[in-house]
Structure 1
Amino acid sequence: MQLKLKDKIIVAVLVVLAVVVFVGGRMHDTKTGFDTEKWVNYEGNSRQLMLQDLVDRTRFVGMDRAEVKEKLGEAEEEQDAFLIYYAGIPQGMFGTKPDTDPEYLVIEFTDEDDKDLVTASGVMTADVLPKDSMYRIKGDATDSTLLVPTEEE
């Protein structure tokens, strides 16, 4: 039985519509709005789902250390010049991207007029973290050790 041109067009439109709905649903499932409680009490890779919303909606520059900690909780690493928060493994459309290094949210500070203020923030992988960070990749490119926070820490 041969389909008429009209039927072929309808089938093609329905297939395209199904693909759009599926892809749109997957994109929606991989992102959620930022929530302080969920960020502080993260499990597995849940911070990664909130990361883009946090970065898009929060202007860290000008905040002081206490304001950052109020929003994000205690950092995995804290030094005078920065706070580092483990953000997880980047997400793709179908889950965690394979062979991808973890990301970290880095908040940098400067001591200006006795105020500890944020001067920069960004998402980084371990190979570009501040050189004093304990999460920075150690060793050369062929023998790297990547430190990742565990549940016990």
Structure 2
Amino acid sequence: MELKARDKVIAAVLVILAIVVFVGGRYHDNHTNFTTEKWVNSVGNDRQKVLQNLRDRTQFVGMTTEEVKELLGEPEEETEAFLNYPVGIPQGLFGTKADAETEYFVIYLEDGKVTETEVCIAGLLPKESIYRTIGEATEDAVLYPEGTKE
């Protein structure tokens, strides 16, 4: 049984519509508006969903450490030189990227004020970070600088 031309067009339109709905839904899931509540109460990779909106809307340079903490809550890691907030594993079109590493939102400080922000993986974190990966990212990799954490 062969489909008529009209039926082929309808089938093609339905397939395209399904793809648009799927891609649009995934985009929306991964790009939602930032709120302090969403950031502070995040679970798993939830911070990935609001990170871009946060960075687009917030002028971090010049903010004080207290202002950042008021906006983002307490960091996972804090030194005089930086604040570190884990944001999770990046999301792809079909969910979590299989080969991706956990990303961190690092806020660099000088004299208690933000000088720069960066999203990076463990191997690119500041050398003082307890989350920095040293060497190859393998199962037996050292996950922190020797002597800083047991």
Give the TM bin, normalised by the shorter chain: 0.7 to 0.9
Judge which range, 44-53 or 101-110, deviates more.
Answer: 44-53
Shift of 1:94: 2.2
For residues 64-115 of structure 1, the C-alpha deviation after alignment (integer angstroms, 9 at most, x for no partner) is: 111111101111111111100111111112222113110000000112xxxx
Q: Give the % identical residues.
A: 60
Q: How does 1:63-142 map to 2 (within 5 A)?
A: 63-111=63-111, 116-138=112-134, 140-141=135-136
Q: 2:142 aligns to what? A: 145
Q: State how far apart, in whole Å, the 2-side matches of 1:134 and 1:110 are.
A: 20
How far off its partner does 1:35 sit?
A: 1.4
Q: Is the 8 A contact 1:30 1:95 kept in 2?
A: no
SS of the aligned residue for 1:32 comes to: coil
Instruction: Determine if the alignment matches structure 1 residue 48 to structure 2 residue 45.
Output: no
Query: Within 5 Å, which residues of 2 pair with 1:1-12?
Result: 1-12=1-12
TM-score, normalised relative to structure 2: 0.85
TM (normalized to structure 1)? Answer: 0.84
Structure 1 runs (4+) deviating above 3 angstroms are none
- Offset from partner CA, 1:99-140 (integer Å, 9 cap, x none): 3110000000112xxxx21110011100001111111113x2
Counterpart residue identity of residue 5, structure 2: L
Check conservation: 1:90, 1:97, Cα contact below 8 A: yes
**Paired amino acid for 2:114:** V
Whether the aligned pair in 2 keeps the contact of 1:129 and 1:136 (CA below 8 Å) is yes
Q: How many Å apart are 1:41 and its aligned residue?
A: 2.4
Q: How far apart are residue 37 of structure 1 and its match?
A: 1.7
Query: How far apart, in 1, do the equivalents of 2:38 and 2:3 lie?
Result: 52
CA separation in 2, counterparts of 1:46 and 1:18? 25
1:34 alignment partner in structure 2: 34
Q: Please give the secondary structure, in 2, of the residue aligned with 1:123.
A: strand
